[in-house]
Amino acid sequence: MVTKGAIILSRGYQMRYSQYFLPTLKETPGDAEVVSHQLMARAGMIRKVAAGIYDYLPFGLRVIRKVENIVREEMNRAGAIELLMPAVSPAELWHQSGRWQEYGKELLRFKDRKETDFCMGPTHEEVVTEIVRGTVRSYRQIPLNLYQVQTKFRDEIRPRFGLMRGREFIMKDAYSFDIDDAGADVSYRKMYQAYRLIFERCGLEFRAVEADSGTIGGSFSHEFMVLADTGEDAIVSCNSCDYAANVEKAELRPAVGQAPAPGMPLGKVATPNLKSIDDVAAFLKETPQKMVKTLVLQNEREETIAVLLRGDRKLNEIKLCNYLDCKHIQLADEALVRKLTGAPTGFSGPIGISCRVIADQDLAVMSDFGLGANEENFHLTGANHGRDFQVEAFVDLREAEAGDECPRCSGKLEAWRGIEVGHVFKLGTKYSEKMHATVLDDQGQERILVMGCYGIGVGRTAAAAIEQNHDENGIIWPMPLAPFQVIVTLLNPNDEAVLAAGEALYTQLLDAGIEVLLDDRDERPGSKFKDADLLGIPLRINVGARGLKEQSFELQERRSGERTMLPIAGAAARIAEQVRAAL
């Protein structure tokens, strides 16, 4: 207990709110857009130091540690081995992989005093591959999965949303090494399973979705998406089977059957100033589904192409890039459209256009549709491919949306927004080949290691948890992530009976191994309630004179708001039990 003039090293001393460092904010900082950022700032978890760079204050750090520990336990259980690589790495390694050139400005580069180039590590394939090639020579040492939990730096063009998209952030990154493809697949599946367990343990609602493997060209990849309306990614999942994919990747089933034979002649109608599909369709008394829109695009090689889509569909640019084998594509500007079609934007069509024309696969079953006429203020009706114009190919080019048929079963797709908290990636030999990471197999043959890499955004996971678990009063932590499991609120710490009873409970809970914060501040109860709600600690025990008269504490659950009276005798044991049940 507190003795005046002496240095107190009492157990749990720092878990007294009055002595803790927990600067909460009544008002929302002006630069916080999304709720997780607002609440993290208000709850004294983080403070901004620079754009995308944050302090983790004690309360926030406790949550980070919770996520990290769950990640570590499941990684270890899956056979991965923890190490720690440097945050700074020499350009030399990046030259070997070719990424010193490939990586854009996101890679923060600088020179040391000897004018040697270095960078802050945005990821560690090079570094880990260098470790392995220098130490692993035999197939007997394989498979190997090395991971770390480390601060990464990516100089994002536009950091935003607090920990959701920072430049400096904590990431768990793991790298697997196998002697062949089959082995790499096993490693991949192990990580996939471990990730499922991790996010389940975090109490999050998520989907593991197929993702576009992007420019890396790996064979497959899954993203783990926490479902949240504020998520930066759009995903679809089947309501019947376990198919789920990022819309960037989501395949669509080819339309069945054949286009009905043309039944209408090609006609031309004046559509003055009607540029959007919806306007033209309404004018023609047709639905957008009976219209075809023509998008004129240009890629980084300055190739132009026209894409035909059903009027109500959206283009998936990634599918188009994959088809064209290019990196970027964008809508052509007004001048280019005029050059290729002879008309301003809004009237483009495939007939008479001077560039390649491809169509979404849905077009294959359409006939007698409306089109732009490539002439200002005119559209065509009764158009038919084959008869009126040719297309180079019918390709799956549109973006999946809710209600589409599942490509794997007879179910329907549902659409969600998601926050990407994890990504598992089969890398193949991209790095091992360039950096000569090889081992000898049992035949004495040199084999290039097959790699996988697996990331989890630790801070982002915490932020996603808040996006998914909050109300108008603040955060509602899932028990496994809660920085404190219980808060004991002394309604009037100046009342000696209240103080004594609260201290006793606090001590008993500590003894029971519960993480408990004792709100012993000399504040009005209302303030403490508001702070407790903001902080989101799952269980609150109100200790007040009123309850003590009945030999009881009051237990209040953060999520439901439900209050129950708890007899003092055995209270700590019951609370501890409730905490354990929720872990």
Partner RNA sequence: CGGGGAGUGGCGCAGUCUGGUAGCGCGCCAGUUUUGGGAACUGGAUGUCGCAGGUUCGAAUCCUGUCUCCCCGACCA
Site residues (vs RNA, CB under 7 A): 24-31, 33, 42, 48, 50-52, 104, 106, 122-123, 152, 154, 156-161, 171, 173, 214-216, 327-328, 330, 423, 425, 453, 455, 473, 491-492, 494, 522-527, 529-534, 542, 544-547, 554, 556, 561, 563
Q: Measured on CA atoms in the order 271, 399, 330, 164, is the torsion positive or negative?
A: positive
Nearer to RNA, 25 or 131 (CB): 25
Shortest distance in whole angstroms from residue 333 CB to RNA: 12
With H, G, I as helix, E, B as strand and everything else as coil, classify residue 182.
Answer: helix
Q: Which two tokens stand for residue 37?
A: 């950022």
Closer to RNA by CB, 418 or 480: give it: 418
What is the DSSP-derived secondary structure letter of residue 564?
A: E
Q: Which is nearer to RNA, 104 or 272 (CB)?
A: 104
Kindly report the number of other CB atoms within 10 A of residue 538's CB atom: 22
Going across the sheet that includes 292-299, the strands are 329-331, 292-299, 304-310, 356-360, 394-395
Cβ proximity to RNA, 33 vs 511, nearer residue? 33
CB of 530 to RNA, least distance (A): 3
Question: Alpha-carbon distance 294 to 331, whole Å?
Answer: 11
User: CB of 348: closest distance to RNA in angstroms?
Assistant: 20
Q: Which is nearer to RNA, 215 or 410 (CB)?
A: 215
Shortest Cβ distance from residue 255 to RNA (Å)?
28
Cβ proximity to RNA: between 154 and 290 the closer is 154
Residue 57 φ/ψ region, left for φ over 0, alpha for ψ in the -120 to 50 degree band, beta for the rest? beta
Q: Least distance (Å) from RNA to the CB of residue 450?
A: 17
Tally of residues, the chain: 583
CB 184 within 8 A of CB 450: yes
**Integer Cα distance of 392 and 413 in angstroms:** 29
434: helix, coil or strand?
helix
- Distances, alpha carbon 156 to alpha carbons 31, 149, 213, in Å: 17, 20, 20
Give the CA-trace dihedral at 523, 525, 530, 534, to 10 degrees: 70
Q: CB of residue 360 vs RNA: minimum separation in angstroms?
A: 20
Q: Which is nearer to RNA, 23 or 265 (CB)?
A: 23
Q: How far is CA 101 from the centre of its chain?
A: 27
DSSP string, 318-386: HHHHHHHT-S-EEEPPHHHHHHHHSS-TT---STT-SSEEEEEGGGGG--SEEEE-SSTTEEEEEE-BT
User: Which one, 214 or 411, has the nearer CB to RNA?
Assistant: 214
**CA-based nearest residue to 330, from 303, 370, 353:** 303
Select 310 or 540, whichever has its Cβ closest to RNA. Answer: 540
Give the nearer residue to RNA in terms of CB position, either 78 or 343. Answer: 78
Q: How far is the CB of 298 from RNA (least distance, A)?
A: 11
Residue 227: strand pairing partners: 418
Residue 391's Cα: distance from chain center in Å? 38
C-alpha 285/C-alpha 231 separation (Å) is 37
Compare residues 398 and 558 and give the one whose CB is closer to RNA. 558
CB of 377 to RNA, least distance (A): 28
C-beta of 272: minimal distance to RNA in Å?
29
Q: What is the closest distance, in whole angstroms, from the C-beta atom of residue 474 to RNA in the complex?
A: 7
Give the Cα separation of 141 and 77 in Å (integer). Answer: 19
Least distance in Å: CB of 546 to RNA?
Answer: 4
Query: Residue 159 or residue 349: which is nearer to RNA going by CB?
Result: 159
CA pseudo-torsion sign 563, 568, 569, 574: positive
CB of 80 to RNA, least distance (A): 15
Q: Find the DSSP H helices in 172-311.
A: 181-201, 277-283
